[in-house]
Structure 1
């Protein structure tokens, strides 16, 4: 056991260091752990069979669960915008890659488990490999086959993995030059298209000058002029320095100064109705009314709407914004609060202290790991992944498995803020640690196991031909994705690069593209397609094994 753990830790530590080394702007990142594991396995270092299987599966579970928790809040909302097109393009590349892998199996007489390994490596998809290996083990158990009946798809995966990493980077560079992309123009077009500056929640001061609203309450003005999605956080009357947080029944007087919180387009609409932009500085004073950030940690506030909490009527405290997973949301009365949400509140200090007792605002609790939620969510995911889907003529039922099950559970939990006592909040540092630890454990276990006899397998299976076959899976779907994205759907180049990286679930390519393009825009489309693409790759890998493994 000690020797096994030393080999595991060696692979992870040396691999993590090697992954930071750069060739130009390209580095292998955590995928270098797999290559170090291959080298150690080739030299004869080994791990106990049961331990290596546990490390591989547990690492994969941690990785996909962390991904699901991280992208869950934006995943579902993205379908309201361009997410449907993005995911259709991503899933299209998955099925085309599956078709090419099947043709390689038939035409080149490559075992289907090796073809699936080629497919997973050529698109750098780790969960697909994990699902394929789990399905092969399940078939062996159900049909009582010997352990060496099937080839190890990790060999083909390891051989073609570099093609996947460097192939997509190569295509990003080629696409930029071939399409003659002007990056500055692309940024301008994207801002114009998405109006990002109008989607952010901002605040602005205005002075009341229009006679149409003077003497009316905010409720009357909002109803009469059809004003929605606007919050008035502060009000100051002309000639005074007293600032207070108004209610909907507060009366608007001439020359009042108001602090408006909303999207920019809604603020512009409101100011057009009530008056003009103000430069008054007294309304920002913290003497009478102060602004504070509170975190939702108390059970009395979790899964309650802002209307149910009624902080304004109870404590004279107004919530203007809610920050969830890095996203700013306007504090509408119907908004349900989740554990870990951050509220931006306005009110006097004494009132905020009273409201704080209801909200919780315990920074210490947020920093402490909640293992009940983490492992409860993992149990939920394993149950989902273990549900058998019986399909006639298949040797064993289809299952989402240890990858897709936890991923779906994480997406569901993060979307609804939790299930019962299981909540979705995990601080960013813990999420990154969980993802990196999980993927390092998986890569190390896969590399060490595949490293035994890797050279012999490379020679006996004509590894150069496998690399050649892998190029078809890497380049054909991705080239079609570029052409269709650009010429059919007219997608922005930054978005297209994110879809390319997300379709191949390739964090190394994403890291390269953000540095190469000097922009974080690709991260958004990457996160949009990653979950559905991952689930699709898992299902395609399983179906190929179940349908054609002999």
Structure 2
């Protein structure tokens, strides 16, 4: 069986995924590993034989696909988070990494480790391959020829022993924190989305205006005056039905339909005077319909830019993206695959459908040209060597490059006729495939070396020292971030994954939270964490202490 798997790496890859994925759903004491179980199954299988591993291209491909799709989805929120509290969050991560670097130097001195092993241990416990590559590059440039092979092997040993605990330890830290603090992820998600965006509690009501104050006010004027967060739809005046616009002047006796949170609607009822059950409207005139956004000319534009009321006399009452529903606002940007609920005159409905596209097939497809071109840009950026102070170079690699480029492309959404974003369902599918490929491949590649090195003399002390660094960095950020800085766990777990630049942890965090906020936390600190760890590992390898 082992020989068969060695000769058929594709069979090995999907066997690990098929066994690991369902294991991740098994709960022990109310907790589960999620997609991270694929990594642990890969380590276990890979430990059976040195040749039992997936080709390197598999985990590189999986890693690139995963971080690129994460960046596309997180782009707009990433920019917003940086403006809001990005400096604070990055300072927290930078301080935690600095303390972890100091701890590594202390452990190096206490255990009598060489500089190369300590540098590899630091890189492995914080799962940063670019830092390991930077150390190896520095050694190649500075070491004597007769010592080169030995010095190059030292960081690899430290890295290989501590890398698995660098992943497992962070998962355990998050698991422990959410259990101790009894985190309510659903409540956090509702709070992070904001009251004006969450439509999960929205209801539709009809009001009769008894005495409008001030008389002759428009819908926009009343909304600004009372700070209402509701959406006005149909209006019945006498026997006439028409759509409300921001410029519509209301009058006493009007029957007005509004959609919003019950608390906001109560304020409207207090101002208008009477709440009715419904406006009885002839469906031969107006109708509701849910429409897929699949037209590329609409994607990447705000609802306000589309001039829907002027164009068709229709109103968007809700936007669904994945499992989340949002109350439409003028500045909201539409994405491929969004499901919009519109209210329009029957005579215009087909025209409205054609305008949005309404093709389920199109929102299930990938624009191979823009997707591939975006990935090419990201991979090329990852290959660019940036000069490093004191000698050496810094490369973002096949994870950092695609992530940075995807964040930029995701923020802009479109450039001319090129739409960079993916439909939500496609993004999630590609992301899941990429993560599974990465975890299964990296697990099989690390398994044998991990157990062999651990069984040799000195391997256990390196492993325990790496575990100490991993747990120290993770628990420090979790405790300070959640308890003192009041950062929501949904966001903080993504920051932890970003600090470790570890997509396996990000996958676990998303499984636990059930939302996409970990993506934003991950993307917001990833660049600082990557550069910070490369700087620190250079200090460790060159430190005389």
Same fold (TM over 0.5): yes
1:383 to 363, 380, 384: 380
Given candidates 73, 81, 86, the residue that maps to 1:70 is 73
SS of 1:363's partner is coil
Quote how far apart the aligned CAs of 1:347 are: 0.7
After superposition, what is the alpha-carbon deviation per residue over 1:30-64, rounded to whole angstroms, capped at 9, x for unaligned? 4444444444444335279xx82322322211121
Matching residue of 1:13: 15
User: Does the 8 Å CA contact 2:223/2:229 hold for their aligned counterparts?
Assistant: no
Contact 2:69 2:431 in 1 (8 A): yes
| Structure 1 residues 464-489: Cα deviation after superposition (integer angstroms, max 9, x where no partner) | 21232123223333443354345533
Report the alpha carbon displacement of residue 143 of structure 1 after superposing the two structures with TM.
7.7
Conservation of the 8 A alpha-carbon contact between 2:79 and 2:411:
yes
TM-superposed CA distance for 1:346, in Å, is 1.2
SS state of the match for residue 207, structure 1? strand
Query: Alpha carbons of 1:12 and 1:115: their partners in 2 closer, same or farther (altered >3 Å)?
Result: farther
CA contact (8 A) 1:11 1:444 kept: yes
Are residues 1:200 and 2:205 paired? no
Tell me what 2:535 maps to. 543
Deviates more, 1:421-430 or 1:139-148: 139-148
Please list the CA deviations of residues 430-450 of structure 1 after superposition, one character each: whole Å capped at 9, or x if unmatched.
Answer: 333323332333334333433
TM-score by length of 1: 0.79
Q: Give the equivalent residue in structure 1 for 2:526.
A: 534
Within 2, Cα distance between the matches of 1:224 and 1:265?
17
1: CA distance, partners of 2:435 / 2:298 = 35
The equivalent of 1:166 in structure 2 is 172
1:291 aligns with 2:288: yes
Quickly say closer, same or farther: Cα 1:264–1:10, change in 2 above 3 A: same
Name the residue aligned to 1:256.
Answer: 254
Structure-1 separation of matches of 2:370 and 2:522: 23
Q: CA deviation at 1:221?
A: 4.0
Q: Report the counterpart of residue 55 of structure 1 in structure 2.
A: 58
Residue by residue over 1:137-191, the C-alpha shift from the partner in whole angstroms, topping out at 9 and shown as x without a partner, is: 6568878987772442234313554333334433544x43xxxx6x79x998x79
Match of 1:517 in 2: none
Task: Give runs of aligned pairs for residues 171-186 of structure 1, distance below 5 A.
Answer: 171-173=177-179, 175-176=180-181
How far off its partner does 1:200 sit? 2.1
- Tell me, which stretches of 5 or more residues in structure 1 are unaligned? 515-519
Matches within 5 A, 1:323-342: 323-324=320-321, 328-342=325-339
Aligned to 2:212: 212
Shift of 1:315: 2.1
Deviations 1:192-236 (A, max 9, x none): 987955652435424233423586262574488375765421112
Aligned CA distance change for structure 1 residues 210 and 234 (closer, same or farther; 3 Å): same
Which residue of 1 is the match for residue 243 of structure 2? Answer: 245
Q: 1:439 aligns with which of 416, 435, 450?
A: 435
**Does the C-alpha gap of structure 1 residues 312 and 446 become closer, same or farther in structure 2, counting only changes over 3 Å?**
closer
* 1:101 CA drift (Å): 3.3
The answer to whether the Cα contact below 8 Å between 2:299 and 2:419 also exists between their aligned partners in 1 is no
Map residues 314-463 of structure 1 onto 2, 5 A cutoff: 314-324=311-321, 328-395=325-392, 397-460=393-456, 462-463=458-459
Match of 1:278 in 2: 276
Gaps of 5+ in 2: none
Q: Call closer, same or farther: CA 1:120–1:436 in 2, change over 3 Å.
A: farther
**In structure 2, what is the Cα distance between the partners aligned to 1:313 and 1:198?**
24
CA distance in 1, matches of 2:273, 2:59: 63
CA distance in 1 between counterparts of 2:193 and 2:173 reads 33
SS in 2 for 1:208: strand
How far apart in 1 are the matches of 2:280 and 2:312? 23
Match of 1:93 among 77, 93, 96: 96
CA distance in 2, matches of 1:119, 1:133: 9
Q: Indicate the RMSD between aligned Cα atoms, in angstroms.
A: 4.1
* Residues 1:42 and 1:307: Cα distance change in structure 2 (over 3 Å): closer
What is the aligned partner in structure 1 of residue 131 from structure 2? 132
Q: Aligned partners of 1:448 and 1:315: how far apart in 2?
A: 57
Partner Cα separation in structure 2 for residue 214 and residue 316 of structure 1: 26
Query: Normalization by structure 2: what TM-score?
Result: 0.79
Deviation of the 1:367 alpha carbon? 0.8
Tell me by how many angstroms 1:310 deviates: 2.5
Equivalent position SS for 1:344: strand
Query: Cα offset for 1:353?
Result: 1.0
- Indicate which of 458, 473, 476 corresponds to 2:469: 473
Question: 1:366: how far off?
Answer: 0.8
* Mapped partners of 2:330, 2:541: distance in 1: 55
Deviates more, 1:35-44 or 1:460-469: 35-44
